[in-house]
Chains A and B, each alone.
Chain A
Amino acid sequence: MTAEIWTGILVLITFGIYIYIGYWARVRDTKGFYVAGQGVPPFANGAATAADWMSAASFISMAGLISGLGFDGSIYLLGWTGGYVLLTLLLAPYLRKFGKYTVPDFVGDRYYSQTARAVAAVSAIFISLTYVVGQMRGVGVVFSRFLGLEIVWGVVIGMVIVAFFAVLGGMKGITWTQVIQYFVLITAFLIPAVAISLQLTGNPVPQFGLAFSNIVADLDYIHEQILGEKPYTEAFRTRPMIDVVFITLALMAGTAGLPHVIVRFYTVPNVRGARYSGAWALFFIALLYLTAPAVAVFARYNLIATLHDQPLDQVRELGWVRSWEATGLLSFDDKDGDGFVRMDEGEITINNDIIVLATPEVAQLPPFVIGLVAAGGLAASLSTASGLLLVISSSVAHDIYYRLINPQADEQRQLLVGRIVIFFAVVVAGYFGVNPPGFVAEIVAFAFGLAASVFFPIILLGIFDKRTNSQGAIAGMLVGLIFTAGMILMMRSTLLLGTEEPIINDFFGISAQGIGVVGMILNFVVAFTVSHLTPPPPAHIQELVENVRNPFGSGAASSH
């Protein structure tokens, strides 16, 4: 059977499972809809969090990105895993004890302010909408690359599937499909990684293959002696140390402040469950994040060894070279016309996405595996999209409609509004997935920057500093938001505002990706200072903080 038939079969099977789970997990109350009834075991929540978190970008693009960055790829590896340490130690257990449905719930209640609630809800919607567009696009791209479908139809199929289990099952449906999606995507990622590791290093465990073979040393040798570049393992080759540090920190704090990740910790039965699901989540994520840097080295070594300084005619006889050249992700330009293609002369152009997508073919794995990689890419996109759509739904239906506009709405009405909003959110995300605004990739910096500069500081202060009051929190959030958004707008002004040159290039050496850290520090300083210059929060708020700090009794309200 061909790869296309295998892809079709595997996609049909996995989608069938997702639909079945959506039907099985259908819910009747808001608690089921928003927090899966708070009955998800820590192990399952860890897997769901991992799938929720790892997007199309993590699955398809990250290994390729690292492959291009070398050592500096650690900004993603450390940033996107170290964030779970912050989240688990500083936020998750306390938010679980608080026990309500959303991040704006905590912000609004802790700071006894509808203004704070509204700022939080609007930020959550903006962050999630930014993110979800790329996921729907990812679904369309996988369908078009593996099955030759038009991107529009790929997106529509993705929309129908997500709409089905999210509208019917809410968080409960999303949780259990994410658990399955995690195992689909990790299997799809690991099989080709093991195969290529075995082929190049003789060791089936990619992490061992990386450490206990000469492949890293050889790649450094190729970089220096053959390509005339700095070694692959040399630190700060692509950007200065200060920028690497700030980007890593921004991705960590951003991860800890992303609403769709935080809400996953509301779904476990108690505080202890929140701590352990943080551990499980990082373990499941690390399976991919510890493998990706090995794949990055193997694939880079292999591509250079296979393509560099070879006769063009001979290279084109390779099956995978032909098929990926046809997609435009791999291209050759024999500039000096000597019949040989050389990397150091810029005669070979490799798109980062190839590193993961083409590995099964390069490693000559059976067509079945290629189908599995397609199903894995779809699982990664759909699981992240569904988590984000739920945040959009809960922010509009719960935080804005129920808490701000119509507090008298009964359970049935809230649930109905939640379902309607999630349906419309799917349609909006699908529309932008088909017609992406040109600057999608650029505004992803916004999502992390805003999560780091708006949410992380005020949630942290809300738990660890009783003295922080509503005036401080609102001032801190606004300063963090305005500074970060303003800086990113100016640094990315060529795309966002249409200027000829960026208005500013960097802020003391820190680029747009890392600027959220500065916004975060400003938020902390402003929130703390303003709070101490204004009256302390009322007694019942101090009592709320005391209660959130005591893990006992969080399980009392759970029902399954």
Chain B
Amino acid sequence: MSKNPQWKGSGSSSGSGSGRGKLSADEAAAYWKSNVTIIGILLALWFIFSFVTSYFLAGPLSGIMFGGGGSPEFGGSDGVARGVPLSFWMAQQGGIFAFIIIIVTYAKLMDNLDKKYGLND
């Protein structure tokens, strides 16, 4: 506790300094509101790809088949492509792809927002 907490007096000039860094109270509130909006929309997508497509809709989506084809030949294989139930694919593959896209989108959108407010350092 003897040292000054680091959060006080940060934003000093030794960063690469392309942005101004300081915001008025109104600007800070507007920046935060945009930030929360971005997070809100992306978390709604996160929720959909975590729970809706994989679990809540597992019943209906299990009737939709895609992909399939070729080998192997065992038991019931008759050379006809039968594919993978969409519910299963979403729960074990599709959801994870969606998560990656969500995080990358977030980082890009925040880059733009920071630039707009001159907060990029």
CB–CB A407/B1 < 8 A? yes
- Any chain B CB within 8 A of the CB of A1? no
Query: Which of A130-138, A229-237, A507-515, A525-533 is the contact stretch?
Result: A229-237
What is the chain A residue whose CB lies nearest that of B21? A552
Give B contacts to A, CB under 8 Å.
1-2, 5-8, 10-16, 19-23, 28, 31-32, 35-36, 39, 42-43, 46, 50-51, 54-55, 58-59, 62, 66-72, 74-77, 81-85, 87-89, 91-93, 95-97, 99-100, 102-104, 106-107, 110-111, 114, 118-121
Contact of A275 with B99 at beta-carbon distance under 8 Å, contacts A234-B62, A293-B93 already known: no
Minimal beta-carbon separation of A299 from chain B (angstroms):
13
CB–CB A282/B75 < 8 A? no
What is the chain A residue whose CB lies nearest that of B113? A551
CB–CB A245/B15 < 8 A? no
Minimal beta-carbon separation of A244 from chain B (angstroms):
6
Q: For the complex, count residues of A whose C-beta is within 8 A of B.
A: 78
What is the chain B residue whose CB lies nearest that of A232? B88
Minimal beta-carbon separation of B28 from chain A (angstroms):
7
Contact of A88 with B72 at beta-carbon distance under 8 Å, contacts A211-B93, A217-B82 already known: no
CB–CB B119/A282 < 8 A? no
CB–CB A214/B10 < 8 A? no
Residues 200-213 of A, flagged 1 when their CB comes within 8 A of B and 0 if not, give 11100001001111
Residue picked from B2, B14, B69, most chain A C-beta under 10 Å: B69
List chain A residues, Cβ under 8 A from B19. 552
Q: Once bound together, how far apart are the Cα atoms of A211 and B2, in whole Å? A: 60
List chain B residues, Cβ under 8 A from A226. 75
Residues 413-436 of A, flagged 1 when their CB comes within 8 A of B and 0 if not, give 000000000000000000000000
List chain B residues, Cβ under 8 A from A73. 92
Minimal beta-carbon separation of B49 from chain A (angstroms):
8
Minimal beta-carbon separation of A173 from chain B (angstroms):
24
Residues 72-106 of A, flagged 1 when their CB comes within 8 A of B and 0 if not, give 01100110011011101110010001111000000
CB–CB A279/B69 < 8 A? no
Apart from A74-B95, A89-B39, A555-B121, list 8 A-B contacts with CB within 8 A. Answer: A78-B96, A81-B99, A214-B83, A218-B72, A221-B76, A233-B85, A270-B121, A282-B103
Minimal beta-carbon separation of A296 from chain B (angstroms):
9
What is the chain B residue whose CB lies nearest that of A409? B2
- Any chain B CB within 8 A of the CB of A241? yes
Residue picked from B54, B97, B114, B120, most chain A C-beta under 10 Å: B54
CB–CB A549/B32 < 8 A? yes
Minimal beta-carbon separation of B58 from chain A (angstroms):
4
CB–CB B6/A557 < 8 A? yes
Q: Once bound together, how far apart are the Cα atoms of A305 and B95, in whole Å? A: 30
List chain A residues, Cβ under 8 A from B42. 85, 89
- Any chain B CB within 8 A of the CB of A290? yes
Minimal beta-carbon separation of B73 from chain A (angstroms):
8
CB–CB B95/A71 < 8 A? no
What is the chain A residue whose CB lies nearest that of B78? A214
3 smallest CB-CB distances across A and B, nearest first, come from: A553-B11, A217-B82, A74-B91
Contact of A248 with B51 at beta-carbon distance under 8 Å, contacts A301-B74, A547-B10 already known: yes
Q: Once bound together, how far apart are the Cα atoms of A207 and B31, in whole Å? A: 40
Contact of A235 with B114 at beta-carbon distance under 8 Å, contacts A77-B92, A213-B69, A552-B21 already known: no
Contact of A552 with B121 at beta-carbon distance under 8 Å, contacts A84-B103, A99-B10, A272-B111 already known: yes
Main secondary structure of the interface of A (DSSP, over half): helix
Minimal beta-carbon separation of A42 from chain B (angstroms):
9
Q: Once bound together, how far apart are the Cα atoms of A306 and B109, in whole Å? A: 51
What is the chain B residue whose CB lies nearest that of A101? B6
Q: List 26 A-B contacts (CB under 8 A).
A: A71-B87, A71-B88, A81-B96, A84-B99, A88-B106, A88-B107, A89-B103, A93-B110, A99-B10, A100-B6, A211-B66, A211-B67, A212-B70, A214-B83, A217-B77, A221-B77, A225-B76, A245-B55, A248-B51, A282-B103, A286-B100, A293-B93, A547-B7, A547-B8, A548-B7, A556-B15
Minimal beta-carbon separation of A219 from chain B (angstroms):
9
List chain B residues, Cβ under 8 A from A98. 6-7
CB–CB A549/B50 < 8 A? no
Minimal beta-carbon separation of B41 from chain A (angstroms):
11
Q: Once bound together, how far apart are the Cα atoms of A2 and B96, in whole Å? A: 38
Residues 250-293 of A, flagged 1 when their CB comes within 8 A of B and 0 if not, give 00100000000000000000101001101100110010011001
List chain A residues, Cβ under 8 A from B51. 245, 248
Residue among A86, A207, A210, A283 making CB contact with B100, cutoff 8 Å: A283
List chain B residues, Cβ under 8 A from A252. 50
CB–CB B28/A546 < 8 A? yes
Q: Once bound together, how far apart are the Cα atoms of A109 and B7, in whole Å? A: 10
Q: Once bound together, how far apart are the Cα atoms of A554 and B19, in whole Å? A: 12
Q: Once bound together, how far apart are the Cα atoms of A270 and B14, in whole Å? A: 13
Minimal beta-carbon separation of A412 from chain B (angstroms):
15
Residue among B70, B75, B87 making CB contact with A235, cutoff 8 Å: B87
Contacting residues of chain A (364-412) with chain B, CB-CB under 8 angstroms: 403, 407-408
CB–CB B70/A552 < 8 A? no
- Any chain B CB within 8 A of the CB of A119? no
Q: Once bound together, how far apart are the Cα atoms of A74 and B8, in whole Å? A: 44
Q: Once bound together, how far apart are the Cα atoms of A66 and B28, in whole Å? A: 46
Residues 215-229 of A, flagged 1 when their CB comes within 8 A of B and 0 if not, give 111100110011000
- Any chain B CB within 8 A of the CB of A440? no
CB–CB B77/A218 < 8 A? yes
Q: Once bound together, how far apart are the Cα atoms of A99 and B36, in whole Å? A: 21
CB–CB A289/B10 < 8 A? no
List chain A residues, Cβ under 8 A from B32. 549
CB–CB B75/A221 < 8 A? yes
Q: Once bound together, how far apart are the Cα atoms of A554 and B114, in whole Å? A: 13
List chain A residues, Cβ under 8 A from B119. 550-552
Contact of A71 with B67 at beta-carbon distance under 8 Å, contacts A82-B46, A547-B7, A553-B15 already known: no
List chain B residues, Cβ under 8 A from A233. 62, 84-85, 87-88
List chain A residues, Cβ under 8 A from B76. 217-218, 221, 225
